[in-house]
Structure 1
Amino acid sequence: MSKFFIFLFVIFIHHLSLAQSVQLTGSVISGTEKLPSASIQLKIFGNEDLFTYGFSDEEGNYKLSCEISQSDKFLLIAAYIGYQRDTLIVSRTDLLKQAIFQHNFNLKEDKKQLDEIYIKAPNAVEVNNDTTKYNVLRFTSPEDRNLESVLKKMPGMEVNKDGTIFFKGKKISKVLLEGDDLTGEGYKAITKNLKPEFVEEVQALEHYVEDNLLKGIINSDDIVLNLKIKDKGVKKIVGSIDAGLGTNQRRMLSTNLISFINRTKAFAFANHNNLSSS
């Protein structure tokens, strides 16, 4: 029996040696300017899989906590809109030398993007307690055909091949339209079809509780996205209808509509063509 317990103890110690807790702290600045809401990523060196993620606070300070795997090297990355990203290659040994690993980032302005950034909007990302707000315009490029392609560019967001969305490594449960759930877990109908120019802001809501009466009473790990739509009104339909006819009876029809009528929300997406394209 004693040999069995010794065996379990050895296995336990071996497991601890493979995965050990570490805390990473530091600041993100540019010269003497503090950079709040800068994204901090820890990735595995080589395949660049995201290991853990966070944001700097209002003072430009960040803190990440995670369990380090047996990977030999990692990438610690700081990024901020309008500044050149900075990457530190760090070994597993260096991370575990002390209880807290500290590194300060001093980012340089990306002068090629400054003019464009000042024209678009003052803030790309804002963090307020459990709510992270993204200014969609700041992440949108002319080639983006749907909201999903813009979400992929937002710090903290991940979208896998089938369209499932993750925020800070956790799966999104719903995508709300102005606070209303129209699709449940079938939110890909919205993110894969809605054009980004119709969305003003994407909000990531952590610890989401659907019933307002239960907020602050029950604990929730749910994360949802809430979409704020541009130019909405009491009675309004926003969107577009694209149609085309060509030779040999070729045709194309695409609708992308969201209605706000008497506080009722609805959406309609449709694509049809006989051009051998999707």
Structure 2
Amino acid sequence: MLKKLSLALLLLILSYCSFAQTNTISGVVKDTTENKFVHNAVVALLSQQDSILITFARTNAQGTYSLASVPHGKYIFMVMHPSFADYVEDKEIDATNSSQPMIAVTPKSKLLEAIIIQSGNPIRIKGDTTIYTADSFKVSANANVEELLKKMPGIQVDKNGTIKAMGETVEKVLVDGEEFFGDDPGMAVKNLRADAVKEVQVFQKKSDQAEFTGIDDGQSKQTINLKLKEDKKKGYFGKIDAAGGLQNDIADRYNTNFMFSSFKGKRKFSSFLLTGNTGQDGLSWQDMERYGSTGEMSMEMTDEGGMMFFSRGGDSDGEPYINTRDGYIKNINAGLQYSNKWNDTKTFNISPKFNSQLYDNNKLNFTQTRIGDSLLNENATTNSLVDRYNFKTNASYEIKIDSNNTLKLTLGANIYHTESDELRRANTTGAKGNLINTSNRKLATTSDREALNGTALFKHKFKKARRTLSLNASWNMLNNDMENYLQSDNQSFDNGVPVLNQQQNQLRDIEKQTTVFSSKLVYTEPLNKDFSLELGHEVSLNNGTNNQVTYTYSNTTGKYDVLVDSLTNNFDQRISIQKPSVKA
């Protein structure tokens, strides 16, 4: 009994100690030269081990501060204010030092100029943003920004290039507040020189919708903004890949990639040219961000009034999918991207691209099927040839009319041409090798598609916080003209004797058009500090036609002029949707 009581007492003491290993520390910051308390100074604690920011507070009008629930340990203690020299010291927090001695700071105007320059004010906190002065951290000559970040307390870069700031993974790296050739965090830190950076700013960036409405949607991202020196806001970088190999039974393999990007101020320009016959049919998603564009991305308004972006992928606008891992493909890809921003109020982007593919594939298939006691063996060869090209152009223009109103226009035009031929030969035999069926089929298709789209997004913020109005309108049109020739010959056998023959020689002419117009109006009204009301209404109009006419070849006229009613149709489609919404 005594042992159990002693054990329980020991556990209680340990539990008390574990809960008591934090302190609330407080103190006063004072300007001793004028004998005044310093208001709005930042008092921060950083871990000595990895310089991660643990906690911080601001002094009130009486110069006092309080840092609650500080774990015992060793820290870097910092006091920062724009008008005073930084105060930095190593400090150990334990149960005996809850009340800190008065911190005396000196106005910068009282310091010698040489001392101010040498100090460099390496780290300061402004609101929710931690700011590093880049020149205060020494790196080797010609080092890139990645090496600079590794020197900064609170920022870590691992061997894979993943960046963490204040213990959180950095998802965005901006340059002067703008994306740098896409949203890949490694893009800027690996391609910009360290000596081009004036400041490194670390903060939580809210989503575009949250910044617009003022309603926090919890979608913030840890972000680094690189503020460049005025004389360093220009540069260029690129990538060249070339590979090849000699082959015996097939055409020699080769692949070349040429990519180039440049920037000057807010202007960015990229270009790429890819050629080869190894199966590469476009930029990788990483290179698409760097040298291509986000033109393959579409946008639509969500039910919450926000914007959702999604990729249309490789079969955009209904184009047939080609598996480049099968067969041989010869491709040419070329594209340009230009973007610029003027006076921080007007932004323009345009991205034209060209793609050409010649695809050749030969397949051998063996299929065995058991039906009851019978066994059927099919041997088939399929020869496919696809020759196609497309032109794609996407452009956007955004204007900030004033501090409360913005308008963004987006236009896209895609043109596709495809010619394909497929020849399939097959024979089916029984278990003893007796011939049961032969089949020959030839399919030839010519297709032309045009896809046009446009969107307009208007956003308005009222004087009252979180009261907003947004209107999104979009228009899409897809035209498809196709000619499909089918020739087939199927012969059945009974004990090796032909018994039934079926032949087809048809032309199918297809014309399709789809037009979709949609718009959505969203209004948000704050109800109190924590809740808002959202009213929305969406209108969608969908018009479509599908005309398909099938003809059989006439031996008499030598033309495809015999109508096949069962394979001919003419459809018209009209769909309208009204979708009101209320959310709180």
**Larger Rg computed on CA atoms:** 2
- 2:67 counterpart (52, 64, 69): 64
- 1:238 counterpart (232, 235, 239): 235
Return the TM-score normalized by structure 1. Answer: 0.57
> Against the structure 1 CA distance between its residues 166 and 135, is the aligned structure 2 distance closer, same or farther, given a 3 Å change threshold?
same
1:220 deviates by 4.4
User: Who is 1:252 aligned against?
Assistant: none
**Which amino acid counterpart does residue 181 of structure 1 have in structure 2?**
E
Gaps of 5+ in 2: 1-9, 239-259, 271-289, 292-584
Higher fraction of strand: 2
1:216 deviates by 3.4
Write out per-residue CA displacement over residues 172-226 of structure 1, whole angstroms, 9 at most, x where no aligned residue. 2211123333477742342244212222332222252234424434244532111
Gaps of 5+ in 1: 1-9, 242-255, 269-278
**Which amino acid counterpart does residue 26 of structure 2 have in structure 1?**
T
Answer yes or no: is 1:218 the counterpart of 2:217.
Answer: yes
**Which amino acid counterpart does residue 89 of structure 2 have in structure 1?**
D
Contact kept in structure 1, 2:85 and 2:105, CA below 8 Å: no
1:101 deviates by 4.6
Measured in 1, the distance between the counterparts of 2:51 and 2:228 equals 32
- 1:208 counterpart (206, 210, 223): 206
Higher fraction of helix: 1
Answer yes or no: is 1:52 the counterpart of 2:51.
Answer: no
**Which amino acid counterpart does residue 77 of structure 1 have in structure 2?**
F
User: Who is 2:155 aligned against?
Assistant: 158
Measured in 1, the distance between the counterparts of 2:212 and 2:25 equals 37
Answer yes or no: is 1:88 the counterpart of 2:91.
Answer: yes
- Aligned residues, how many? 233
Q: Secondary structure at the match of 1:259?
A: strand
> Against the structure 1 CA distance between its residues 12 and 208, is the aligned structure 2 distance closer, same or farther, given a 3 Å change threshold?
farther
Measured in 1, the distance between the counterparts of 2:68 and 2:139 equals 37
Q: For 1:109-128, list aligned pairs within 5 A.
A: 115=114, 117-118=116-117, 125=123, 127-128=125-126
Q: Secondary structure at the match of 1:188?
A: helix
Q: Secondary structure at the match of 2:173?
A: strand
- Range with bigger deviation, 211-220 or 200-209: 211-220
Measured in 1, the distance between the counterparts of 2:183 and 2:50 equals 29
Measured in 1, the distance between the counterparts of 2:40 and 2:221 equals 25
Contact kept in structure 2, 1:29 and 1:106, CA below 8 Å: yes
Measured in 2, the distance between the counterparts of 1:55 and 1:239 equals 42
Q: What is the identity percentage for the equivalent residue pairs of Structure 1 and Structure 2?
A: 20
Measured in 1, the distance between the counterparts of 2:266 and 2:89 equals 49
Q: For 1:113-152, list aligned pairs within 5 A.
A: 115=114, 117-118=116-117, 125=123, 127-137=125-135, 139-141=136-138, 143=140, 145-152=143-150
**Which amino acid counterpart does residue 224 of structure 2 have in structure 1?**
L
> Against the structure 1 CA distance between its residues 149 and 48, is the aligned structure 2 distance closer, same or farther, given a 3 Å change threshold?
closer
Answer yes or no: is 1:25 the counterpart of 2:26.
Answer: yes
Return the TM-score normalized by structure 2. Answer: 0.31
**Which amino acid counterpart does residue 87 of structure 1 have in structure 2?**
D
Contact kept in structure 1, 2:130 and 2:201, CA below 8 Å: yes
Q: Secondary structure at the match of 2:203?
A: strand
Q: Secondary structure at the match of 1:85?
A: strand
CA RMSD, 1 decimal: 5.0
Q: Secondary structure at the match of 2:178?
A: coil
Higher relative contact order (CA 8 A, sep 6+): 1
